[in-house]
Amino acid sequence: MIRRETKQLHVGGVPVGGGAPITVQSMTTTKTSDVDGTLAQVYALAGAGADLVRITCNDVEAAQGLAEIVPRSPVPIIADIHFQYRLALAAIEAGVAGLRLNPGNIRNPEHIKTVAVAAREAGLPIRVGVNGGSLDKDLLAKYGSATPEALVESALTEIRYLEDVDFDAIKISVKHSHVPTMVESYRLLADTVDYPLHLGVTEAGPPPGGLIKSVAGIATLLLEGIGDTIRFSLTADPVEEAKAGRQLLEYLGLRDRTLLDLIACPSCGRAEVDVIKVAEEARSALEAEKLPIQVAVMGCVVNGPGEAREADIGIAAGKGKGHLFIKGQVVRVVPEAEMVEALIDEARKLVEEGVEARLAAADVNAAAQATETALELRSLKGDANKAEERRSAVADVANLD
């Protein structure tokens, strides 16, 4: 995909926009004054894939907490500011790497400009964070609701205040809880400015609905080349937000794989094992290993290795057996009870030694055993896809005069 060209800014040492890798953000749910509790959550978020973490700065105690949290954080910290502009100044004093301001609740232009001057002198960026649920009442009266035009106008008004004091380290979000409105808002904004954009569906709710909404909105825009940093706003442990955001970027090929990518067939009448159970056991065990590979769990050996040949490694069930394969080539046959254990063992070796070394170490009889088992399953279960019958029918049609 061709990504939209934008200016680039830095949040601490993390570049945003200008062709930099798309970053994942999340936000802590602890009281910021609880320094140790907040830091524990920041570390958990960083471990789950968050590049940046936002922390609320809603009172003096929170600002004081930031002064202790920032120097101990493994990732840059962004202060979330609402209503009180002086808390933004306090957060800058505490050493944060960025600010998020909501145009809907800091209304005085001079206050906004004061914050921008301080941020410019400190060398940190500001996100203009427009939210459909807290839009300025004058814009609501003008447009009748939080339309894409209203959200973008709110952002542009705030940007002008910042630009008036020669501040341009700006990124923007125009979030809405209604996915189509969110998508259209970002499209309109992307056509209007060249600042980097932060994507999110606000108040998406708990999983699975919140995940679906977030993916629908964020992935749509990313595939159009729009977006430089993302956040899943879930009613859940924020670690789930970071993990989901990172997985989305990896699945779209926008970040290098660092997490497990497990694919599995939906099963069919030929399956000799409980595919759902095996897939869940494999997922749980492999995630604990933190192996950045794509793993396939297939219900049978008839089509499994071929269909999943792009996976780094996989297991396909046979009658009482598991057929372990690497890049589509069967390398070992193990008893069914040892399928998951063998998969984990081979995955470790694959990461340590590489594909070529593990293919060279393959059991020379494994491929023949897999072929024999596939033929046996076809005779026992038949061909669920009726491949031979369909091939014959296609040939008959193709041979008609």
Same domain? For 120 and 204 the reply is yes
- The Cα 155–Cα 264 span in angstroms is 43
Classify residue 94: in a domain, yes or no.
yes
How many whole angstroms from its chain centre is CA 50?
Answer: 9
Same domain? For 163 and 300 the reply is no
Classify residue 114: in a domain, yes or no.
yes
Q: Please return the burial class of 46, using the count of CB atoms within 10 Å of its CB with bins 0-12, 13-18 and 19+.
A: middle
Residues 72/41, Cβ–Cβ less than 8 Å: no
pLDDT digit of tens for each residue in the chain (401 aa)?
799 999 999 999 999 999 999 999 999 999 999 999 999 999 999 999 999 999 999 999 999 999 999 999 999 999 999 999 999 999 999 999 999 999 988 889 999 999 999 999 999 999 999 999 899 899 999 999 999 999 999 999 999 999 999 999 999 999 999 999 999 999 999 999 999 999 999 999 999 999 999 999 999 999 999 999 999 999 999 999 999 999 999 999 999 998 889 988 876 666 667 888 888 999 999 989 888 999 999 887 777 778 778 899 999 887 788 889 999 899 999 998 898 999 999 999 999 999 999 999 999 888 888 788 777 777 765 565 677 788 888 888 888 65
Same domain? For 221 and 287 the reply is no
Which of 251, 275, 299 is the last residue before a domain boundary? Answer: 251
Classify residue 390: in a domain, yes or no.
no
Question: What total of structural domains would you count in the chain?
Answer: 2
Phi, psi of 304, deg, nearest 5: -50, -60
Give yes or no for a cis peptide into 208 (omega within 30° of 0).
yes
Classify residue 388: in a domain, yes or no.
no
Residue range(s) defining the domain that contains residue 317: 261-381
- The Cα 384–Cα 374 span in angstroms is 13
- The C-alpha angle 15, 17, 22, rounded to 5 degrees, equals 80
Same domain? For 286 and 222 the reply is no
Give the 3-state secondary structure of 57-75. Answer: CCCHHHHHHHHHHHHHCCC
pTM attached to this predicted model: 0.88
Which of 211, 229, 251 is the last residue before a domain boundary? Answer: 251
Same domain? For 137 and 231 the reply is yes
Q: In this structure, what CATH number is given to the domain that contains residue 272?
A: 3.30.413.10
Reduce the DSSP state of residue 108 to 3 states and report it: coil
